[in-house]
A and B are shown apart, each in its own frame.
Chain A
Amino acid sequence: MQNVISDPDQAHEHDSGEERKLIGDRGYYFLNRMQGETGVNISACYQCERCTNACPVSHFMDIKPHQTIRYVQLGWREDLLKSSTIWICLSCEMCSTYCPNEVDVAEIINHLRNMAAHSSITPKERSLAVFHQTFLEVLQKSGRVNEFRLMNAYYSKPGILKERVKQGILVEDLLLGMTLLRKGRLKLFTPKSRAIKEIKKVYSQKRGEIV
């Protein structure tokens, strides 16, 4: 039998499938930054995979929770921000609760999601990101979130209607909406909170505007 490694040509062929990533010094930089911002000791992770095993949605993720931690240690920032993991995560806190080293995995994923939201990278799970965004917009407009207003706003986002028609959920959603209305679970009008102005002000401060 031929040894793969002893044959330089074949070894090269074997390598060409995957691009090799260099670590360099950015792993150290990104790790420190993440540890500083989240207050979590990320270096304590010894890859026992307890987080991934506890996660209810790990099989929908492209980078598993324990790999996420490793990626942070290596400084592979854009891979993380481009991943579906950060949007699929439910923040159910199973990973953080069961980590033997008290690495707050959910907090790290949440922080990465925050970073992705403030970056120019298009989220891999666009519909999920858009839903969060819509929720906050409705919140800013009325101080409280009404389900009817939320779904209306969500549907009027670019691309969402088209996507849902393609998936065949539109008719189902309309029927569900009708049933909910009939049952009295969906209220078209609910009182707004007077907090709108205050909330908007805080938002603009958070964006760095000096009010």
Chain B
Amino acid sequence: MRLSFYPGCSLEGMANDYARSIDAVFKDLGIELVEIKDWSCCGSTAAHSLNQAMSAVLPARNLAAAEKMGLDLVSPCAMCFNRLRFSQNMIKKKVFDIPWPVTGNIRVHDMTRFLAEPPMIKLIKERILKPLNRLRVVCYYGCQMVRPPKITGYTDYENPQTIDRIVAATGAKVIDWSYKATCCGASIGVARKEIGESLTRRILQKARQTGAEAIVVSCPLCQSNLDMIQKDRSKRHTPVFYFTEFLRLSFEEHGDPKWFKMHFTDPVPLLKTKGLLS
């Protein structure tokens, strides 16, 4: 199976551990990810805030490149996925002039939903060497991956299940909670710190109240927000994993503590007490 892969800017910088775990997991699953050649930024929040036309045009360049390859596209980043889908929508409506030849007919997958399809779950279950059955976690989705449902195609946008299903397949106990799709503040924390922190803290607090030992996410920005807010060495740590890191941990007999060295909240002590890391 081959798919075109659009990593997005975050995966080159802040989330390059996510990129590495994706590589490892897809190699293990036997799915080939072909990175789009010379991809460019999707424009993110800034483009649609200041210049709506650009928010449709910028992702279209990557869609055009994927169409040239003739492969369906998969995006690990929630924002990129949202913008690609939005652009596809706009291309079909022919509202904006796109300077690249593009029809918008390929399928754009979000990585979690792609892996949460029943055949993929079966494949994941076959590959598991080390079930993570002693961990209790909550899954956090954020906004851009699930909302607006018209664009993302999620029907269960109030209680999304994709990461839940993947994490449950690794054997970990998934706790149900009600802050799955509440906003973490995204990039507002850069310019208005107090707003960003108040939102992220609430999510962290609610996650801890459920009794979860870790949070599993799929969005690079959510991960850095939830992780970096715990940088002040407080007594209690709740590690924030990417779901692919979780899969990678269960796919290999002996995990490597180096995989997690980019985290602010060191998950190694937790994993060691659970006997999941030597």
Contacts and interface: CB of A to CB of B under 8 A. Distances in A.
B9 A92 contact: no
Contacts of B274: none
A180 B38 CA distance: 26
Interface residues of B, number: 53
Interface in B95-153: 97, 99-100, 143-144, 147-149
B41 A127 contact: no
Contacts of A190: 9, 12-13
B68 interface: no
A131 B51 contact: no
A187 B12 contact: yes
A194 B187 CA distance: 26
Contact of A106 (B38, B148, B190): B148
A183 B261 contact: yes
A71 to B, nearest CB: 19
A136 B183 contact: no
Nearest to A160: B191
Contacts of B38: 193-195
Contact of A185 (B51, B58, B183, B262): B262
Contact of B51 (A179, A180, A193, A206): A206
Interface centre among B13, B14, B54, B100 (most CB of A within 10 A): B13
B188 interface: yes
A193 B41 contact: yes
A201 B99 contact: yes
A130 interface: yes
Nearest to A136: B46
B177 interface: no
Given A125-B192, A127-B191, A201-B99, A139 B41 contact: yes
Contact of A133 (B9, B50, B61): B50
A57 B199 contact: yes
B16 A187 contact: yes
Interface in B164-183: 182-183
A132 interface: yes
Interface string A176-201: 10011001111100110111001101
Given A94-B183, A144-B41, A184 B16 contact: yes
Interface string A10-34: 0000000000000000000000000
B33 interface: no
A90 B40 contact: no
Nearest to A134: B46
A198 B61 contact: yes
A153 interface: no
Interface in B230-270: 231, 261-262, 264
A194 B228 CA distance: 32
A62 B232 CA distance: 32
A142 to B, nearest CB: 9
Given A94-B147, A136-B54, 18 more contacts: A60-B192, A90-B143, A90-B183, A94-B143, A113-B49, A130-B191, A135-B46, A144-B12, A148-B13, A167-B193, A184-B261, A185-B17, A186-B13, A187-B13, A190-B9, A195-B40, A198-B99, A202-B54
13 contacts: A92-B186, A111-B52, A113-B49, A117-B49, A128-B192, A136-B46, A139-B47, A144-B9, A191-B12, A199-B40, A199-B58, A202-B99, A205-B97
Task: Please list the 6 inter-chain residue pairs (A to B) with the smallest Cβ-Cβ separation, ordered nearest first.
Answer: A135-B46, A92-B183, A195-B40, A93-B147, A92-B143, A127-B191
Interface of A: 56-57, 60, 88, 90-94, 96-97, 104, 106, 110-111, 113-114, 117, 125, 127-128, 130-133, 135-136, 139, 143-148, 151, 154, 167, 169, 176, 179-180, 183-187, 190-191, 193-195, 198-199, 201-203, 205-206
